[in-house]
């Protein structure tokens, strides 16, 4: 990889693509990016900036995350990379016979114990620098003053309108819709109840949410609406667990990503398989390259679903054995040998969940943070008087096989698809990246990194490239600007095809930051959504 070429080809526009000298932030919403920059300006470090941006996203990107959800992250502390497992928890009353099919995605019975505030409070207390009220303040201000509804938010509110109406109390619709209808593009959306709650959290600490008045209000709200979450569940604060990241190599780079229950494993596995194929061989034929990529994606999905792994209870297979370069090399050779033959395609369930991601770097630290309330606008039910949406993470448990590590049990954790990642070059953090997009996250990131490293694209060009993904069952989703010759070939091979819009919401939204050789920074926010990059 010609680093000089990659860096020099970058074309900043001051909005989506940004260059800075000392620190950089990329998030899914302009106000959240500016919150991180503001914290840097006050002397905060990368963790402070990431926490401020994450809290701000909880206000101004409610379709993707919120304080009712969960947060996963990787932190480079200046000495080592730490994975922060911020899994939420199933309520104590949750068991398979208590959850009906319709409860999993909409309404009060769909929610787990929210962990986002516990995670952000924990990492700030351990790794942050500024006072807690300072990093919460931008989110409070955005909630009080409001922000402009975007075209994407209007479209998603319109799409989810019927799901909002499925909640008998219409609590989510009362807070996040305008008189029961989607907000218009450009409308100012203010959230006074959420602002007041954040003020109290800033004043009393994140523990206040779990053990004081908010917890009592949530308990009463759940009891009134048939939910399972109780005060006792919240009082057992879901503090995160620090874990070792999963680690792999690609073209000489060292890749750190999220261990189980996160999904860094399929990302590392995909990159290890690609690494076993020389760049010249991989890129000499565009059709064969995409075909191989699709089968690598399917193999990585099969490995993940076929070997579910919960580090809390099922340590029977070590991550090192799962991610052996020799195993990956052997597997990709098997795929390459049979790639000309028609492959059996089996129908599988394709996930349609959402989330958000932000990336932050300064001269000493790096943060890759992914958080979610699961589906778009979560459970569509909101906490009465508190102004945030409950998540619907109960849909991410196994309900049929008691031997599965993510089988629903009281206080168990859900399976996650997030892959926040930090890439090292010569023992220094070089690239921080991540994306929303459920099972498509790892494939989107794999393609992004391949464009940069193998094709020597600048990160702004790489993020704009057309994307493709295959489900385990062989449903190939692609953007409607993908090479038609390749698509025709895949159709002849027997794949099911799923054409998406040219810059598809469905195929992720990468937010990435890069540290240049001269110590400066570059940041990109995906053109597919509302995000921006900024820095100092």
Please answer whether residues 500 and 479 qualify as being in contact, where contact means their C-beta atoms are separated by less than 8 angstroms.
yes
Q: How confident is the model at residue 342 (pLDDT cuts 50, 70, 90)?
A: very low
Query: If DSSP codes are grouped into helix, strand and coil, which group holds residue 6?
Result: helix
Helix, strand, or coil (residue 429): strand
3-class secondary-structure state, position 408: coil
The share of the chain scoring above pLDDT 70, in percent, equals 93
What is the pLDDT averaged over residues 72-76?
A: 98
Contact 46, 54 (CB under 8 A): no
CATH number of 262-348+430-535: 3.60.20.40
**pLDDT for the residue numbered 415:** 85
The yes-or-no verdict on residue 405 having pLDDT over 90 is no
pLDDT band at 333 (very low <50, low <70, confident <90, very high): confident
Range in 267-281, 294-308, 414-428 the model is least confident about: 294-308
Between residues 416 and 199, which one has the greater pLDDT? 199
Neighbours of 233 (CB within 10 A): 26
pLDDT digits (tens, 9 = 90+) for 8-59: 999 999 999 999 999 999 999 999 999 999 999 999 999 999 999 999 999 9
DSSP class of residue 271 equals H
CA distances from 25 to 164, 174, 208, 468 (A): 33, 33, 29, 27
What is the rounded average pLDDT of the residues 389-409? 89
pTM score of the predicted model: 0.93
Per residue, what are the HEC states of 7-47?
HHCCCCCCCCEEEECCEEEEECCHHHHHHHHHHHHCCCCHH
Give yes or no for residue 533 having a pLDDT over 90. yes
178-184 mean pLDDT: 96
510 phi/psi in degrees, rounded to 5: -75, 130
pLDDT of residue 316: 52
Residue ranges per domain, the chain? Answer: 24-242+364-396, 262-348+430-535
192-210: average pLDDT: 98
Q: Is the peptide bond before 102 cis (omega within 30 degrees of 0)?
A: no
Residues in a beta bridge with 26: 359, 533
Neighbour tally for 113: CB within 10 Å: 29
Would you place residue 101 in the very low, low, confident or very high pLDDT band (cuts 50, 70, 90)?
low
Give the model's confidence band at 479: pLDDT under 50 very low, under 70 low, under 90 confident, else very high.
very high
Yes or no: say if 271 and 279 are a contact pair by the CB < 8 Å rule.
no
- Which residue pairs, CB below 8 angstroms and at least 24 apart, start in 476-485? 476/294, 477/440, 477/504, 477/506, 477/507, 479/503, 479/504, 479/507, 483/286, 485/286, 485/287
Higher-pLDDT residue of 338, 520: 520
CA distance 449 to 483: 20
Whether the per-residue pLDDT at 98 is higher than 80: the answer is no
- Name the band, by pLDDT with cuts 50, 70 and 90, for residue 349: low
- Where on the phi/psi map is residue 418: left (φ > 0), alpha (ψ -120 to 50), or beta? beta
- Mean confidence (pLDDT) of the chain: 91
The pLDDT of residue 335 is: 75
Whether 290 has a pLDDT exceeding 60, the answer reads yes
Residue 332 has a pLDDT of 76
Tell me the per-residue pLDDT of 244-287, one tens digit each, with 9 for 90 and over: 999 999 999 999 999 989 999 999 999 999 998 888 888 888 99
106-120, 170-184, 332-346, 384-398: the lowest-pLDDT one: 332-346
């Amino acid at each position: 990889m010609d680093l000089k070429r990659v860096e020099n080809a970058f074309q900043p526009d001051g909005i989506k693509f940004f260059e800075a000298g000392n620190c950089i932030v990329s998030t899914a919403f302009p106000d959240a990016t500016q919150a991180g920059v503001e914290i840097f300006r006050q002397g905060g470090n990368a963790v402070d900036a990431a926490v401020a941006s994450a809290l701000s996203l909880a206000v101004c990107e409610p379709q993707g995350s919120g304080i009712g959800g969960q947060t996963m992250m990787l932190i480079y502390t200046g000495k080592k990379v730490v994975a922060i497992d911020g899994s939420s928890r199933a309520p104590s009353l949750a068991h398979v016979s208590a959850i009906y099919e319709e409860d999993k995605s909409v309404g009060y019975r769909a929610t787990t114990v929210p962990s986002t505030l516990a995670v952000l409070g924990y990492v700030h207390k351990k790794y942050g620098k500024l006072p807690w009220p300072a990093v919460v303040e931008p989110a409070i201000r955005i909630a009080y003053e409001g922000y402009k509804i975007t075209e994407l938010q209007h479209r998603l509110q319109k799409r989810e309108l019927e799901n909002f109406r499925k909640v008998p109390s219409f609590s989510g619709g009362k807070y996040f819709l305008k008189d029961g209808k989607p907000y218009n593009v450009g409308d100012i959306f203010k959230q006074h109840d959420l602002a007041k709650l954040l003020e109290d959290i800033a004043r009393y600490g994140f523990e206040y949410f779990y053990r004081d008045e908010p917890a009592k209000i949530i308990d009463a709200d759940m009891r009134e609406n048939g939910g399972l979450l109780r005060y006792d569940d919240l009082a057992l604060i879901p503090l995160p667990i620090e874990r070792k990241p999963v680690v792999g190599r690609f073209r000489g780079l060292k890749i750190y990503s999220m261990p189980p229950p996160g999904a860094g494993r399929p990302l590392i596995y995909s990159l290890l398989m690609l690494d076993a194929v020389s760049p010249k061989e991989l890129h000499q034929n565009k059709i064969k390259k995409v075909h191989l990529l699709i089968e690598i994606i399917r193999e990585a999905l099969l490995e993940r679903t076929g070997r579910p792994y919960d580090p809390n209870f099922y340590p029977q297979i070590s991550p090192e054995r799962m991610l052996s370069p020799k195993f990956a090399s052997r597997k990709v050779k098997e795929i390459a040998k049979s790639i000309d033959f028609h492959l059996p395609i089996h129908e599988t369930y394709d996930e349609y969940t959402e989330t958000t991601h932000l990336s932050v770097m300064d001269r000493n630290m790096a943060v890759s943070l992914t958080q979610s309330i699961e589906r778009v606008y979560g459970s569509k039910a909101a906490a009465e008087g508190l102004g945030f949406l409950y998540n619907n993470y109960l849909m991410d448990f196994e309900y049929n096989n008691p031997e599965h590590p993510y089988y629903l049990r009281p206080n168990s954790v859900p399976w996650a698809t997030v892959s926040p990642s930090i890439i090292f070059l010569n023992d220094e953090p070089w690239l921080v990246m991540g994306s929303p997009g459920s099972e498509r996250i790892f494939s989107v990131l794999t393609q992004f990194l391949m464009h940069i490293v193998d094709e020597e694209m600048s990160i702004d060009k790489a993020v704009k490239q057309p994307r493709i993904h295959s489900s385990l069952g062989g449903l190939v989703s692609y953007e409607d600007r993908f090479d038609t010759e390749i698509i025709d070939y895949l159709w002849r091979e027997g794949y099911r095809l799923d054409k998406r819009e040219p810059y598809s919401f469905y195929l992720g939204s990468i937010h990435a930051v890069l540290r240049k050789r001269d110590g400066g920074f570059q940041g990109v926010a995906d053109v597919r959504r509302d995000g921006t990059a900024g820095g100092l």
